[in-house]
Chains A and B, each alone.
Chain A
C-alpha cells in the first residue's frame, strides 16, 4: 500500500478528480490548504497599502492505494493537473504499514 499526497492548483481540482475516478479510484480526502514552493506570491493593494501574499491557496488530495493502482493514479494526476506553469504543485508517495476499516476491523488492502 502506498499513500499518495498531491498538492495541486485549485483550478485543476475538478479535472483531477474526474481523471482519478476514470482509473478506478474510489476514495480520497481533500483539504483546502495554503502554501508555496518556488512560485512567488502576488501583491494586493488596500487603500494604497501593499501586501505581498506569498501563501497561495492550493488543494491537497490524500489517498491510500493498493500498489497496483499507484502508477495509474500518478499518471492521471500528472496529466490532469499540469498547466505547465510554475505553481502546479507536487506529488508525494510514501509506504503505508497498515490500514484498518473502523466499521468491521478489516485489515490491509481489503480495508481500502
Chain B
C-alpha cells in the first residue's frame, strides 16, 4: 500500500489543509471582526480561534471517527476513536494515495470552520460560555452526522460510496454551508435582536479588517475546494478554476445589483459577493466546467444580495453578520445548481459515460440534490433548536443588556481590542 502513495498528492493535501485552517484564522476572524462594532471585536475573533483548539481536541477523541469511521447510513462509529489506526497508511475508501493522517487533518479543518461560520449570526450578544458549549454539542449533533451522510462510507447521501440518495457535494455545500447557515438562522431567531436593532446604527467598525479577511478567505478556498479532489490531480485544477470563476462572478453581480439600487458599488458589497460566490460554488466545484461556475457565481451573488438586503428586512430577524443570508442561502442555491450543471465530462462520478447532472440530461440529480438539501436543513433546524433550548435552560445563552451595551470584549474576556491610549 505504501508504494501507491504519491508524494505530490501528499504535498498538495498538506498545503490545502493549511489553507483551510487559514480561512478560519485569520480569514473568517478578520472578516467577522471588522463587521462588528469595536467593542465586540476580540469576542468574535476569539470564538473562531477557540474553535481551532476545541474542535481539534474533539476530532482527536471521537470526531474523526464519527465522521469517517464505520459505514452506517447516518453516523460513523468508534473504530478510529483516539485516532486509532490513523497513521501513514492510506485509507483507500477516501484517499488511496495519501497517509490517512493527512486526510484526517485536512477534514479537521472543515470541522473547525463550519461552527465558526455560525458565530456571524450570534455576534454581539451571546455569552462566551454558551457559545462554546453550544458549538461543541452542535459539532456532535449536526456536523458529524451530516459529514458522515454526505462524505462517509455508507452514508445515505454519499454519491461516490453507494448512498441511497446520491447528493453531489464536492466540498461542503450541505455539510458546511447549509448546516452552518441554517443553524445561524435558528440562532438569530432564538436569541432575538441585538439591543437597539434596527433603530440604532450598527455599522461595521473596520471594513479594512473585513477586506483582508475576505481576500484570505478567497485564497484559502482553493485549499477548501481544489483540495477536496484529495489528490494533486486534473480534477483539483478543474475545481480550482471553478472556484475562482464562481467568486469573480458573484463579486460582480452583487456589486452590479448595488450599483443599480444605490448608485454606487461598495467595497463591503464586492467582498460579500465574492464570499457568496465561493459558498455557492463549493458543492459544485469538482463537477462543473468553468462557464457553469461563472453562471453559478453570477446567480449566487445577486441572489444573496437579495436575501441580505430584502428578505432579512422583510422578516426582521437579526442575522447580525449575515451568516444565513450568505452561507445558508448561497449553500442552498449552490447545492441545487450543482444538480443542474454537473457534467460527467468533468467528473464521471457514476462511472464513465454515465450522465451526472441536468446538463448531461440527468435531471433526476436535481431531485437528489433537493433530498440532500432538505435533510441538511432539517438536521440543522431541529438540532440547533433543541441544543439552544437545553443550553438556555442550563446556563443561559444571552448576555445581560448592560453587558451587551458595554461590549463583549470587556464583559466576556476582560480586555479591549483597541487600547488607543496605551
Contacts and interface: CB of A to CB of B under 8 A. Distances in A.
Nearest to A48: B309
A46 B204 contact: yes
A67 interface: no
A89 to B, nearest CB: 25
A45 B309 CA distance: 10
Contact of A49 (B198, B258, B264, B272): B198
Interface residues of B, number: 18
Contact of B269 (A44, A47, A49, A51): A47
Contacts of B308: 47-48
A48 B308 CA distance: 7
A47 B198 contact: no
B313 interface: yes
Interface string B175-197: 00000000000000000000000
Nearest to B207: A46
Interface string A35-69: 00000000011111101000000000000000000
Contacts of A48: 305, 308-310, 312-313
A51 B310 contact: no
B268 interface: yes
Contacts of A45: 258, 262, 264, 266
B322 interface: yes
A45 B272 CA distance: 14
Nearest to A52: B201
Nearest to A44: B203
Contacts of B272: 47
Given A45-B266, A46-B268, A51 B309 contact: no
Contacts, number: 26
B203 A51 contact: yes
Interface residues of A, number: 7
B201 A51 contact: yes
Contacts of B313: 48-49
Interface in B253-276: 258, 262, 264, 266, 268-269, 272
A47 B309 contact: yes
For A44, A45, A51, the residue with the greatest tally of chain B CB atoms inside 10 Å of its CB is A45
B203 A46 contact: yes
Interface in B290-316: 305, 308-310, 312-313
Contacts of B198: 49
A51 B199 CA distance: 10
Contacts of A46: 203-204, 266, 268
Kindly name the residue among A45, A47, A49, A51 whose own CB sees the greatest number of chain B CB atoms within 10 A: A47
Interface in B195-226: 198, 201, 203-204
Interface string A14-47: 0000000000000000000000000000001111
Nearest to A51: B201
B72 to A, nearest CB: 41
Nearest to B325: A47
Nearest to B261: A48
A47 B320 CA distance: 11
A49 B272 CA distance: 14
Contacts of A51: 201, 203
26 contacts: A44-B203, A45-B258, A45-B262, A45-B264, A45-B266, A46-B203, A46-B204, A46-B266, A46-B268, A47-B268, A47-B269, A47-B272, A47-B308, A47-B309, A47-B322, A48-B305, A48-B308, A48-B309, A48-B310, A48-B312, A48-B313, A49-B198, A49-B309, A49-B313, A51-B201, A51-B203
9 interchain residue pairs of minimum CB distance: A48-B309, A51-B201, A47-B308, A45-B262, A46-B203, A51-B203, A46-B268, A46-B204, A47-B309
